[in-house]
């Protein structure tokens, strides 16, 4: 079967969503769309007012967009065909990864104002989010090899890791570069 056909089948499982699945899906993907629009919107506000940002700053919403598109696909399988498989340990790993990822991002934003107090916890949580992403990958690869799970799910995880990697590496580079352009943009908000 071709990859486009497999993708159509995988995404088509959205028709199997229960009401709870829809709520979880919209909340999760919506949260990540919020990250795309807030980071991209912030940069656009600054750009419109003549603020120059380093190239790495623009990679933050790009990474967020790749991540969001990938989780939008991946979560369909998580809420349908793989729901039972991830209900145990893998579900816990997902929760830890999401907690570490969200809190690292919040602390990285807050580190603009409280740099000395927050950059280390933000860094530790960022590292934890990647460690637990790799633990999650082990679950997925085990399922792929042993139970013949979808190649679509596996490719969505490539996008998840790529997006997460670009997003967070760029954000940290921007932070260590002094958050160039942020103070100029904040006055236009």
Identify the band that residue 172 occupies on the pLDDT scale cut at 50, 70 and 90: very high
Q: Where are the domains of the chain?
A: 18-183
Report yes or no on whether pTM surpasses 0.85: yes
Identify the band that residue 85 occupies on the pLDDT scale cut at 50, 70 and 90: confident
Quote the tokens at residue 113: 């104002």
**Secondary element (H or E) of residue 4:** helix 3-12
CA-based torsion, 139, 145, 148, 149: positive or negative: positive
Which pLDDT score, from 0 to 100, does residue 149 have? 76
Contacts of 15 (CB under 8 A, 6+ apart): none
Among left, alpha and beta (phi > 0; psi -120 to 50; other), residue 54 is beta
Quote the tokens at residue 162: 């790529």
Identify the band that residue 82 occupies on the pLDDT scale cut at 50, 70 and 90: confident
* Cα(46)–Cα(168) distance, integer angstroms: 21
């Amino acid at each position: 079967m071709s990859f486009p056909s497999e993708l159509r089948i995988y995404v088509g499982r959205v028709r199997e969503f229960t009401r709870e699945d829809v709520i979880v899906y919209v909340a999760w993907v919506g949260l990540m769309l919020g990250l795309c629009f807030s980071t991209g919107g912030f940069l656009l506000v600054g750009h419109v007012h003549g603020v120059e940002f380093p190239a790495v700053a623009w990679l933050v919403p790009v990474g967020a967009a790749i991540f969001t598109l990938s989780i939008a696909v991946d979560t369909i399988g998580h809420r349908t065909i793989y729901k039972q498989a991830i209900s145990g340990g893998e579900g816990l790993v997902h929760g830890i990864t999401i907690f570490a990822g969200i809190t690292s991002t919040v602390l990285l934003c807050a580190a603009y104002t409280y740099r000395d107090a927050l950059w280390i916890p933000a860094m530790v949580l960022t590292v934890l989010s990647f460690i637990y992403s790799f633990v999650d990958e082990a679950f997925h690869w085990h399922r792929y090899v042993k139970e013949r799970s979808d190649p679509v799910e596996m490719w969505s995880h490539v996008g998840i890791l790529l997006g997460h990697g670009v997003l967070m590496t760029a954000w940290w580079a921007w932070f260590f570069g002094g958050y160039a352009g942020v103070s100029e943009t904040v006055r236009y908000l």
